[in-house]
Structure 1
Amino acid sequence: MIPLFSIIIPLFNKEDYIKNTLLSVLNQTFNDFEIIVVNDGSTDNSLNIVESISDSRILIFSIENSGVSAARNFGIQKASGKYLAFLDADDFWEATFLEHIYKLITKYPQEQIFASALKIKTKKGIYFATYSKLDLKTNQEGVLNYFQYSLDHSILHCASSIFNKEAVMKIGAFNETLSTSEDTDYWIRAGLNYSVVFLNIPLATHQVVNNGLTKSNRKRFKSIDYSKYNSLNASDYFHEYINKNRFSSALKYKLLGDYESSKKLTEKIDFSKLNFKQKALLNMPLSITKIVVSIYNKFTYKKNYF
């Protein structure tokens, strides 16, 4: 029997988290799903933990370590469900996540992408993601333009989004040349093609894990090629979103000491759309920029800002 949902979980060295992630799916109140675990060359005990959980809905595949995008793309090819989720191996759902998404699918059958609000768990506590200009009340849903409501935190996240598989085929594969920002690249392509049915209830949790892989990815940071959108006849919200992400990428390059790449992106930024703090971070000496960013990150958390 073909399941309604395919939950694709790329797995690389998440032995401390994968069991909780899997149980959060297995304990859903809506249970018409399959779980596709793509073991991306884990070297810890992650695979053994997955294999110890006996449930026929869990399908396990192992590939050579190729990165999260390749693992997700492999999972897409193996998925048999009509709707796909890209849940990371350290994130988790509330028990009613799929039940709420199913109700949205039934209510908005013409739409292709569905998402709930998100919680962010760090060592300091749990935060609610804040969304730009969102006027939905708690428990209220709406069909939203991705770029208009993602100028602060993205309304799409791997932990909280569901895609019709036909839409995934149109959006295309995850970019395997990007070791970071591959999700942002995907959301841009999704937002250019579809609206998002967004439910303002935090039914998914993104767990911020600062492990060795994260640090390594930062060193290998490669910006999205924003230049391909320069001539695109899109909304002001889209161009503001791209400008914000150009700033973020330029700042990351600066923090890594890649001044040439940072300069190239900075030259393309519309500074009239930046606030005073953002302008200052790009212009001040690197040593001061690092101090400011370190202080900011110590006292607050803002996804995709620094």
Structure 2
Amino acid sequence: MPFFSVVVPLYNKQNDIKATLLSALEQSFRDFELIVINDGSTDDSEKHVLSLTDERIVYIKTENSGVSQARNLGIEKAKGTYIAFLDADDYWYPNHLEVLHGLCKSFPEAGAVTTNYEFLHPGGYIENTIFNDIYTGYTGIVNDFFKSSLKYRLIWTTAVAVKKEVFKTVGNFDTNITLGAGEDTDMWTRIALKYTVAYNDTITATYRLEGGNRVSHAQTLKRVFAKLDKFKEEEKNNVSLQKFLDLYRASYALKHKLAGDDKTFRYYYKSINSLKNISGKTAFLLKLPAPLLRMFYQLKQQLKKSNIHFDIYN
């Protein structure tokens, strides 16, 4: 039985998948299986996976059913004690699983263990994270997961590992949420409400924002976003959770206003518990007429080309 089962959902990432899988196969910690779930890719992704010969690779091809279903199938097939996730266009540093293994051994009570990560923007710009109440070099149990996740998300999918038995308690990824519209946020919230989370500040993973096939605002109307209503009771007694979820409600509201979906915009806007939970900048953007909001969005996209990056969390 391997210590880790690494689950890689794959859909049309022919330009990225081989490098991603090599970053896993080159790990210094080698006690793992690498489960690739080809979720109905229509490009040459399969060819690149099959070009790799390593006994740790488990290749499963399915009809296209979405990333949540692919991850759920990977969890079902996993033989490892912990499930680590790796998106098909992201990278691990060679020490990633070694650092996670150290966390697992030091903090066996934690339901999830995670490392620090970096964002790689188009053009090579690297953005580093800042987490509230967590000092540089910290290793240990996180005191307030949701407070620490208000600026950047403390758990990012490619940097986390979860005890397989935890999924028996919290359930699988929600297949009703689609196309990167909150599946991960929903899962990490469920886990953090029931278990402690252990963190190591070492950067061991790269989130490639320049990766192929990233979801954009243009696809908003095709996506089913997380409603977040299931956490209403917990929010009443957890201020940090309420602020954390209000950031997402504001983000989803802005996306739908940009896409011209006024009905869904109003739903998420009215779901925000308090505008005090979000920044003044975000509150200002929420009140802008849609045409003016689109102008600001286009400006943001132009600034990115000059490596000037910002979002509603900063």
> Is this a same-fold pair by TM over 0.5?
yes
1:192 aligned onto 2:193: yes
TM-score by length of 1: 0.93
Alignment of 1:106-121 (within 5 A): 106-121=105-120
- Greater shift after overlay, 292-301 or 66-75? 292-301
2:60 maps to 61
Question: 2:20 maps to which residue?
Answer: 21
Q: List alignment gaps of at least 5 residues for structure 2.
A: none
Distance 1:97 1:124 in 2: 24
1:9-35 CA-to-partner distances (Å, cap 9, x unmatched) read 011111111111111111111100000
Task: Work out whether residues 119 and 126 of structure 1, in 8 Å CA contact, stay in contact via their aligned partners in 2.
Answer: no
- For residues 103 and 227 of structure 1, what CA distance do their matches in structure 2 show? 36
Please say if residues 151 and 241 of structure 1, whose CA atoms lie closer than 8 Å, have aligned partners that are also in contact: yes
The answer to whether structure 1 residue 256 and structure 2 residue 259 are counterparts is yes
> Could you give the per-residue CA deviations for residues 111-145 of structure 1, whole angstroms, max 9, x where no partner exists?
2211111111121324234234143223x212113
Residue in 1 aligned with 2:250?
Answer: 247
Q: Which residue of 1 aligns with 2:230?
A: 228
* More displaced stretch, 122-131 vs 77-86: 122-131
CA distance in 2, matches of 1:4, 1:221: 35
Residue number in structure 1 paired with 2:294: 290
Quote how far apart the aligned CAs of 1:213 are: 6.2
**Would you say the 8 A contact 2:159–2:204 is kept in 1?**
yes
| Larger mean Cα displacement after TM superposition, 13-22 or 219-228 | 219-228
Q: Which residue of 1 aligns with 2:161?
A: 162
Q: Once the 2 structures are TM-superposed, how far is the Cα of residue 302 of structure 1 from its aligned partner?
A: 5.1
Aligned partners of 1:21 and 1:89 also within 8 Å: yes
State the SS of the aligned residue for 2:146.
coil
Residues in 1 aligned to 2:207 and 2:49: alpha-carbon distance in whole angstroms: 20
Q: 1:267 aligns with which of 247, 270, 283?
A: 270
The Cα of 1:97 is off from its aligned counterpart by 0.7
Q: Partner of 2:139 in structure 1?
A: 141
Q: Whole-Å Cα distance in 1 between the matches of residues 311 and 300 of structure 2?
A: 12
Q: Distance in 1 between matches of 2:291 and 2:41?
A: 36
Residues 205-224 of structure 1 mapped to structure 2, 5 A cutoff: 205-209=206-210, 211=212, 214-215=215-216, 217-224=219-226
Residue 121 (structure 2) pairs with residue 122 (structure 1): yes
Query: Secondary structure of the residue that 2:188 maps to in structure 1?
Result: helix
CA distance in 2, matches of 1:71, 1:292: 36
Q: 2:121 is aligned with what amino acid?
A: T
- Contact persistence 1:131–1:151 (CA under 8 A): no
- CA shift for structure 1 position 277: 1.2
> What residue in structure 2 maps to residue 91 of structure 1?
90
Q: Which amino acid in structure 1 is aligned with residue 221 of structure 2?
A: K
Aligned to 1:50: 49
Distance in 2, matches of 1:88 and 1:230, equals: 30
Structure 2 counterpart of 1:288, one-letter code: L
Aligned mates of 2:295, 2:313 — CA distance in 1? 15
| Structure 2 equivalent of residue 82 of structure 1 | 81
Residues 174-189 of structure 1 aligned to structure 2 (within 5 Å) = 174-179=173-178, 180-189=181-190
Inter-partner Cα distance in structure 1 for 2:257 and 2:29: 46
Contact 1:114 1:162 in 2 (8 A): yes
Q: What's the Cα RMSD here?
A: 1.9
Corresponding letter in the other structure for 1:17: D
Equivalent pair of 1:8/1:37 in contact (CA under 8 Å):
yes
CA contact (8 A) 2:9 2:87 kept: yes
State the shift of 1:178 in Å: 1.2
Distance 1:251 1:9, change over 3 A: same
Report the residue type matching 1:141 in the other structure.
T
